[in-house]
């Protein structure tokens, strides 16, 4: 599973993110927390934030946010963004697209990956439900532009990897706008794409 939750310096010349392959179970477990994922999402949307500012956005106390920022920093997902006013300590994301999977040789890593994947899936599905519940509140142009696609294709494992690679390349081309707010076009807004590619194990009956 590849997620832009958190590109290293070698990618700066092109502005395109590289991917951090995570196989350490401790690192995956460090991310398997709703507050930490919410903090990473807030930093991606808003840029550097203090614990107080982040707390106001995600509905947590500054003390809670400060603790989880330090834990994210310990595993290389955030870092201090320089001195803020007074004793404020703004934090920013470390620009990394993370890749992990549950097909490692290490059983512990597989357990940790499954836990993180499940949490990310549940949060994504919750946001989809929230979108459809509130879709009518959006401007009509955004209602019409929003879309979903479902398809079944017959491919080999190698072809499926190529499909995923091509999709990721398209998404990465928009990455500079995530890190540099000045690149965001007027009237743009954050859009989430959830892509699941998996073997179909027979027809299912809808309730």
Q: What is the pLDDT of residues 50-107, one digit of tens each?
A: 999 999 999 999 999 999 999 999 999 999 987 655 677 899 998 778 889 999 899 9
Structure tokens belonging to residue 91: 């934090």
Q: Are 90 and 84 in contact (CB under 8 A)?
A: yes
**Cα-Cα-Cα-Cα dihedral of 44, 45, 47, 53, to 10°?**
-110
Structure tokens belonging to residue 152: 């079944």
CA neighbours within 13 Å on the CB side: how many for 206? 0
Report residue 153: phi and psi, to 5°. -130, 145
Structure tokens belonging to residue 148: 């979903």
In angstroms, what is the C-alpha Rg of the chain?
A: 18
Beta bridge partners, 92, equal: 79
Domains along the chain?
A: 2-183 (1.10.10.10)
The pTM assigned to this predicted structure is: 0.80
Provide CB contacts within 8 A for 108, sequence distance 6+: 25
The band of 35, judged by pLDDT with boundaries at 50, 70 and 90, is very high
């Amino acid at each position: 599973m590849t997620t832009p939750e958190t590109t290293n310096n070698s990618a700066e010349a092109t502005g395109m993110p590289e991917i951090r392959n995570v196989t350490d179970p401790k690192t995956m477990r460090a991310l398997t927390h709703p507050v930490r994922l919410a903090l990473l999402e807030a930093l991606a949307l808003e840029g550097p934030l203090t614990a107080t500012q982040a707390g106001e956005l995600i509905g947590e106390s500054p003390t809670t946010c400060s603790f989880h920022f330090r834990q994210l920093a310990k595993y290389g997902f955030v870092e201090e963004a320089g001195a803020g006013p007074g004793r404020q300590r703004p934090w920013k994301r470390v620009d990394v697209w993370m890749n992990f999977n549950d097909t490692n040789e290490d059983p512990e890593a597989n357990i940790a990956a499954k836990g993180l994947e499940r949490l990310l899936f549940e949060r994504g599905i919750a946001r989809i439900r929230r979108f459809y519940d509130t879709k009518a509140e959006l401007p009509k142009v955004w209602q019409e532009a929003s879309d979903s696609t479902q398809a079944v294709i017959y491919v080999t494992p190698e072809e499926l990897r190529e499909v995923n690679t091509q999709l990721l390349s398209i998404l990465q081309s928009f990455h500079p706008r995530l890190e540099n707010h000045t690149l965001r076009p007027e009237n743009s807004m954050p859009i989430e794409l959830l892509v699941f590619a998996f073997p179909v194990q027979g027809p299912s009956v809808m309730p």
